[in-house]
Structure 1
Amino acid sequence: MTKEQIAKLHSEGEFPEQISRPDLVETHISWVFLCDQFVYKIKKPITYSFLDFSTLEKRKYYCEKEIELNRRLTSNMYLDVQPIREISGRFYIGNQNGEIIDYAVRMRKLDSSRQMDVLLMKNKVIDSDIRDLAKKIATFHKNTGVIYKKDVLQIRDEFNDLKNERGYLDAENRAILDEAIESSDAFIEKHKDLFALRLKKGFYRDCHGDLHTRNIFLLPDPQPFDCIEFNDEYRQIDVLNEVAFLCMDLDAFGKPELADLFFRYYSNFFPAITSNADWKLFLYYKSYRANIRAKVNSLRARSTDNHAARESALAEVNKYLSMVAGYQKMLLPV
């Protein structure tokens, strides 16, 4: 769908079981309609270096894949794929007559006050939440598919993809970016045998891929959702890379003690560090994940027409690039 069609769907479209007008949330790759009981996620018809939603067929395929993958970690949340139809210039979600112009992932709406990022801002995340989440993730990692064939050095290109945002950054952040890429290249070259060894040992698994606090509901049974469906390479990763993302996010919230607690609990259930070199790798993965958050926010800033939203996203870029620099300084020999 186009931005104009989404606006029309929002203002006058018809949603199943909907009473009031839904709220609309836009990300850099999707539009999300928050209705009374359900959530509808529509993929933007876009192509980036890391995803391709350019055709109707591809968007349908990735909607179906999103449901399949996310059901691994959620219970009764991801429901089905709904067609979006156009009838006489109006848009409908569901199985009415009319031409199918797109598809939406339908999810059951959960209590947004229980999202982990919301609870963190209110200082309401407690030790038992962290323990239960660590056990959920560790159990998932133990049971998900093991990956034995992968170009483990591809992470160099993934890290360096941030340079595509270089022209959109100010001089100070361009300097941080350039130094970060140089440091990352040096680390990977020095430790390339370690990446290969961890693949051989079975630490690469078919993971969630986007495990940060906004993608977790802290219910009695924690519900990590919105895993990566659009790029298998981003999801089939070292488990240490996965947990580094969550720990980096907790650092970003100013909660390093919760990051440490999560990692201790996780390690009790699934030891993922077996050497001193692995500790350095964990720190490198934190810098990589901060890099990804900087890129996502730069893409978000470039894709919005809203000045306040753009400034907010750019502030996030600044924060995460500073974190990249901080982690990489910690990797330097003393």
Structure 2
Amino acid sequence: MNQNQIDKLISDGVFPSSPKERKLVETHISWVILCDQYVYKIKKPMHYSFLDFSTIELRKHFCERELELNRRFTENVYLEVLTIHETNNRYRIGGEKGKIIDYALKMRKLDTKKQMDVLVAKNEVSEANIEKLAERIAEFHIRATIIYENAVLDIKDKFNDIGKEKEFIAQNLNPDYGHLLEWAIKASNSFLDTYEKLLRERLDAGFFRDVHGDLHTRNIFLLPEPLPFDCIEFNDAYRQIDILNEVAFLCMDLDALGRTDLSDLFIEHYNRHFPAMGNEADRKLFVYYKSYRANIRAKVNSLRARSADNKGDKAKALAEVKKYIGLMNGYLESLDI
């Protein structure tokens, strides 16, 4: 589908259960339509180096893949994949009449007030919430498929990719930030050269698994039972990672929200249920993974600043870049590389 068709679907299209509410939330790669009781997610027809939704067959495949993967840790939330039909220039989700023009993933609508990032901002996440979440994630990781083949040093190129943003960041923040990025890339390379053997040992030991891949506070509900959702379906390599890389994202996110106490509590309880960090070298790797996750957030926000429609959005994105570069370098400095 395209933007005009999505607009028409929302304005006068036919949905299952005839909802009164039809609110569009647009992400970089999807259209998400919030209705009274259900949510319908439609993938945008796009093709990047890391993602291919360019054909209707691929969009169907990845809708089905998203359904399958998210059902590993949710129950009665990811419901079914539905066809989208066109008849006489009118669009319908579900049914059998008309030409099939796309596919939608149907999900149960959950209370956004219970998203973890919202609750953290309101200081409504308790230690008990964190302990339950740590136990839930550990149990999922224990069950997850073990990955025994992985290019463990690919993370070096992924980290260094932020160098492409150096000139833009230096020009729009401060020349010093260009130097900070140069230092971070050198420090990352040095760390990975030193700890390559550890990465390979962890791969052989079964610590690389098919997990969530995008585990942060916006992708977790506390209802009050913890409910992760929206894992990465479009690229297996982003999901088949070291479990410390996975939990480092959540812990970095909590650090960025000013809740290092919750971050420390989470990893302590997680490690108690699934001992994935057994020695000082593992601890340093965990800190490195937090730096890597901050690096990705800095890069994404730099790209957002580049494409911002107005000065306000650009300034907001640049402020995030500044914050995450600070986190990234702070983690690396603590490693005494």
Q: CA 1:78–1:304 in 2, change beyond 3 Å: closer, same or farther?
A: farther
Q: Which residue of 2 aligns with 1:74?
A: 74
Tell me the TM-score normalised to structure 2 length.
0.92
Q: Distance in 2 between matches of 1:55 and 1:168?
A: 33
Alignment of 1:228 with 2:209, yes or no, is: no
Alignment of 1:256 with 2:260, yes or no, is: yes
Percent sequence identity is 58
Q: CA 1:99–1:36 in 2, change beyond 3 Å: closer, same or farther?
A: same
Alpha-carbon deviation of 1:213? 0.4
Q: Which residue of 1 aligns with 2:149?
A: 149
Deviations 1:257-296 (CA, angstroms, capped at 9, x unpaired):
0000111111110111122111110110001111222233
Q: Which residue of 2 aligns with 1:128?
A: 128
Deviations 1:118-175 (CA, angstroms, capped at 9, x unpaired):
1001100001100110000001111111111111111112222334445653433444
Q: Which residue of 2 aligns with 1:273?
A: 277
Q: CA 1:43–1:309 in 2, change beyond 3 Å: closer, same or farther?
A: farther
Residue identity opposite 1:222 in structure 2 = P
Alignment of 1:332 with 2:336, yes or no, is: yes
Alignment of 1:192 with 2:168, yes or no, is: no
Alpha-carbon deviation of 1:5? 2.5
Q: Secondary structure at the match of 2:39?
A: strand
Q: Distance in 2 between matches of 1:178 and 1:204?
A: 29
Residue identity opposite 1:29 in structure 2 = I
RMSD value over aligned CA atoms? 1.9
Q: Which residue of 2 aligns with 1:294?
A: 298
Aligned length: 333
Q: Distance in 1 between matches of 2:316 and 2:20?
A: 29
Q: Distance in 2 between matches of 1:299 and 1:15?
A: 35
Q: Which residue of 1 aligns with 2:26?
A: 26
Deviations 1:210-253 (CA, angstroms, capped at 9, x unpaired):
10000001124311000111111111111111111110000011
Alpha-carbon deviation of 1:53? 1.5
Q: Secondary structure at the match of 2:130?
A: helix
Task: Report if the CA contact (8 A) 1:28-1:303 is conserved.
Answer: no
Alignment of 1:8 with 2:8, yes or no, is: yes
Q: Distance in 2 between matches of 1:117 and 1:150?
A: 32
Q: Distance in 2 between matches of 1:46 and 1:301?
A: 21
Q: Which residue of 2 aligns with 1:39?
A: 39
Q: Which residue of 2 aligns with 1:240?
A: 244
Q: Distance in 1 between matches of 2:12 and 2:179?
A: 47
Q: Structure 2 stretches of 5 or more lacking a match?
A: none
Task: Report if the CA contact (8 A) 1:63-1:81 is conserved.
Answer: yes
Q: Distance in 2 between matches of 1:210 and 1:78?
A: 17
Q: CA 1:303–1:55 in 2, change beyond 3 Å: closer, same or farther?
A: farther
Alignment counterpart, residue 181 of structure 1, candidates 165, 180, 185: 185
Task: Report if the CA contact (8 A) 1:147-1:205 is conserved.
Answer: yes
Q: CA 1:137–1:307 in 2, change beyond 3 Å: closer, same or farther?
A: same
Q: Distance in 1 between matches of 2:59 and 2:124?
A: 37
Written as runs of structure 1 = structure 2, the 5 A alignment for 1:75-154 is 75-154=75-154
Q: Structure 1 stretches of 5 or more lacking a match?
A: none
Q: CA 1:25–1:309 in 2, change beyond 3 Å: closer, same or farther?
A: farther
Tell me the TM-score normalised to structure 1 length.
0.93
Alpha-carbon deviation of 1:90? 2.6
Residue identity opposite 2:333 in structure 1 = K
Deviations 1:8-31 (CA, angstroms, capped at 9, x unpaired):
333333322243242211122212
Q: CA 1:271–1:83 in 2, change beyond 3 Å: closer, same or farther?
A: same
Q: Secondary structure at the match of 1:54?
A: coil
Q: CA 1:18–1:122 in 2, change beyond 3 Å: closer, same or farther?
A: farther
